Each structure stands twice: as C-alpha cells, then as structure tokens.
Amino acid sequence: MTITNPLPTLLIIPTGIGCSVGGYAGDAIPAARLLASASECLITHPNVMNGGSLYWPDSCIQYVEGYSLNLFAAGEVFLKPVRQQKVGLLLDAGLEPDIKKRHLQVADGCVASLGLNIGPVITTERAMKINLKKGLSGSSWGNIEEPDVLLRAAEKLKTGGATAIAVVTRFPDDSDGLDTKLYRQGNGVDVIAGVEAVISHFLVKHLLIPCAHAPGLAPLPIDFDLDPRTSGEEIGYTFLQSVLVGLSRAPDLICKSAMKTKENAFLQVKALLRNRDLGAVVVPQGALGGEAVLSCIERFIPLIIVSNQGVLNVSSTKMRLDGLSGKKNNILYAENYIEAAGLITALRHGINIKSLQRPIGCLKELNDQ
C-alpha cells in the first residue's frame, strides 16, 4: 500500500469582505474540515474557524492569525505545532460588568469542560474605544483610539507567561442599523470583522505570539428571518469560546532569524512548517491581492481559485493570471470547495489534473511547437 504524505495547504478567506462562504459566523468550517481531510494538513485563520458559540477542533488544522499567515507565506516565520498554548485573556475596560462577567464565565467553562489552559487575565487601564468603518468597496474595517493601552496590557500578559492572547473589546452596538440587519439576513458584510483583524494584526506584529479577537456586544433581539450562516453568533452571550478553542492549539510563531544557528536549525527543522512545505493555497476569486496570496504566486505554489463571491473584485483576470494556468499548471479553478478538495487530493497523490479533464490533448514534440 502506498503511503502518501500530507500536503500542507493554505486556506484563505479574507475577513470583512462578505464572502458567500466564510463571510459569516463560522460558515466556512465545513469547507475547512473537508480540505483538512483532503490535505491532512490545513493552515487557516480565525475568520474561517471562529463560529461565534460554535467551533470544531481538528488536529489536521493549524489556526494561524492573518498577519502571521502573511509572514509565514513570505518565509519570515515558521510554524511550530504545539500540544497546548497558555491563553492569556485581555479584557477591555469598556466592557460593562455583566458583559465582562459573561466572558469570564466562558473562560472558566472552557477550563472546566474542555481542559484548556487559560490565564493570566488582565483588564486594560482604560477603554480602548473601537470605531467601525466601511471602505469604498463595501468591506469593513475600523480603528482603535487607544492602541497603546491594548499593547501595554498584552505585553503584561506575555510577561506573565501567556503564550497566546485572546482579546475581548467592547464594540459599538448597532442592532438597529441597516448593515447589521442585512448581515443577519445573509445579504451584507460583517461590520465588525475588519477591525477585529486590525486588533489581532497589531498585537502579532509587536509580540509575535498567536492572537485572536472576540467582540464584546450586548445580546441582539431575536430575528425570525435569520440566515443560518449567522446563527453561531445568536445562540450565546459571547463569541469567546471559539477563539479560546482555536488559540489553545495554535502553532508557535518562530522567527526566521532565530533559526540562523546550526544548532537551532538541526533541532527544530523537522518539527516546523515552512512556506516551502506548502503544496497548495486556496483563495476566493476576487480576493487575490492579499500579501500571502502574492507570496505564494511568486513561489509558484499551486493556486486554487474558488468561486466564492464577496465585495472585492481583485480577480485572476485583473491579476493577469488566466494566461498562466496552462503554462506551469499551478493556476487551478474550482466552482466550490468540494471541487477544491478534489484538486488537493489529485495534487497530493500525484495525479495529473489534465488526465481528469475532457477533452485530453495529445502530446506534442518540442520541434512541432
């Protein structure tokens, strides 16, 4: 029997751009599970795996924050799988006492029921004040008025022994806003997702440890016309549990410079995931302009472009990738994530994609061309 090694695969569904799959509360988790089964090693980010009150741990999935993915794809950091992280909990001073207590109860529940290692816990010295904004494309973003307050608290957690950080900030309530109503009914963009990415990117850039964010919000009134893709956010008081589960097994981020000594390289090279190990990257059509995707294109890593509509239109045509699909056989197209899983399976088992397509062209001698 032939033993086939895993094919490390990068799955990217950018945050806050309203993708049909992955633009809602963990609705990309089934796709991630399928691709993880096909590849046996899937590297993806919190936007894919965070399902509000729902989550799905999988030993074949590496949970890596978006800025970290950019560094990994560029070869600046390596990923070191771990058995367990010690997740520090950072709470915004702007959280009301009852909302803060709900989040602390979630953390206690994850220790008692799931066996997670959580702590220390810290509250910022003052409220961080989050502003939600929307870009011209329709994508969501925003800013933090007090980033220094966030960073100081995070540094204390790291000094106190935390090897990963979960952040909970008080977000503006907008239950009556049009954008929120459209999102809950499956016709809009997640208005808070963009600034969540800003928060986690900021901390990873400065601390280089796994970080992810959960918004602190007052419970929404019931909606009888709710889209199932948003339901994970509606069935609990907080979104923290999925973040804590993801961070609990998030890989360590090992800076490339730390591997320069021969001793470190020899001891760790077999235990690390590097960008050169990637066998494929899966990304939505229209969202091809991200740093990680561009790094993979530069390295001729097979790119699987999936029809998954969002508000961005950075397509393969605009990137002039369509003409490359037949030259190096590294630009592939899939109508959905089921097809993408089939392509990954073919790549992993060394099956020529052309042999699965019809018609099959005849081979040509070089002197005939």
pLDDT of 365 reads 87
Q: State how far the Cα of 276 lies from the Cα of 26, in Å rounded to an integer.
A: 29
pLDDT of 224 reads 86
pLDDT of 1 reads 54
Whole-model pTM? 0.93
pLDDT of 270 reads 67
| In the predicted structure, residue 175 carries a pLDDT above the cut 90 | no
Q: Please compute the mean of the pLDDT values over residues 111-135 and round it to a whole number.
A: 94
Q: State how far the Cα of 201 lies from the Cα of 212, in Å rounded to an integer.
A: 9
* Per-residue pLDDT reduced to its tens digit, 243-260: 999 999 999 999 988 876
Tokens for 298, please give them: 């530069």
Other beta carbons less than 10 A from residue 340's beta carbon: 27
The answer to whether 309 and 19 are in contact (CB under 8 A) is yes
Domain boundaries, the chain: 79-254
pLDDT of 332 reads 95
| In the predicted structure, residue 32 carries a pLDDT above the cut 80 | yes
* Per-residue pLDDT reduced to its tens digit, 287-299: 999 999 999 999 9
Q: State how far the Cα of 79 lies from the Cα of 68, in Å rounded to an integer.
A: 9
Q: Where are the beta strands (DSSP E) in 210-289?
A: 211-216, 252-255, 280-284
Q: Please compute the mean of the pLDDT values over residues 345-355 and round it to a whole number.
A: 94
| In the predicted structure, residue 43 carries a pLDDT above the cut 90 | yes
The answer to whether 103 and 244 are in contact (CB under 8 A) is no
Task: Kindly give, in sequence order, each residue whose CB lies less than 8 Å from that of residue 277, ignoring residues fewer than 6 positions away.
Answer: 8
* Per-residue pLDDT reduced to its tens digit, 220-243: 888 888 889 998 888 888 999 999
- pLDDT bin (cut points 50, 70, 90) of residue 308 is very high
Q: Please compute the mean of the pLDDT values over residues 185-201 and round it to a whole number.
A: 88
Q: Please compute the mean of the pLDDT values over residues 30-57 and round it to a whole number.
A: 96
Instruction: List the beta bridge partners of residue 164.
Output: 87
The answer to whether 296 and 10 are in contact (CB under 8 A) is yes
**What is the layout of strands, in order, in the sheet containing 61-63?**
61-63, 42-44, 9-11, 280-284, 303-306, 331-334
Q: Please compute the mean of the pLDDT values over residues 172-179 and round it to a whole number.
A: 75
Residue located via tokens 């899966």: 282
Residues 272-290 as b/e (b if ≥16 CB within 10 A, e otherwise) read: bbbbeebbbbbbbbbbbeb
CA-wise closest residue to 47 among 84, 89, 11: 11
- pLDDT bin (cut points 50, 70, 90) of residue 185 is confident
- pLDDT bin (cut points 50, 70, 90) of residue 269 is low
Q: CATH code for 79-254?
A: 3.40.50
| In the predicted structure, residue 325 carries a pLDDT above the cut 60 | no
Tokens for 109, please give them: 């529940």
- DSSP state, 228? G
Q: Which of 70-74, 79-83, 205-209, 223-227 has the lowest mean pLDDT?
A: 223-227
Instruction: List the beta bridge partners of residue 215.
Output: 169
Q: Please compute the mean of the pLDDT values over residues 45-72 and round it to a whole number.
A: 95
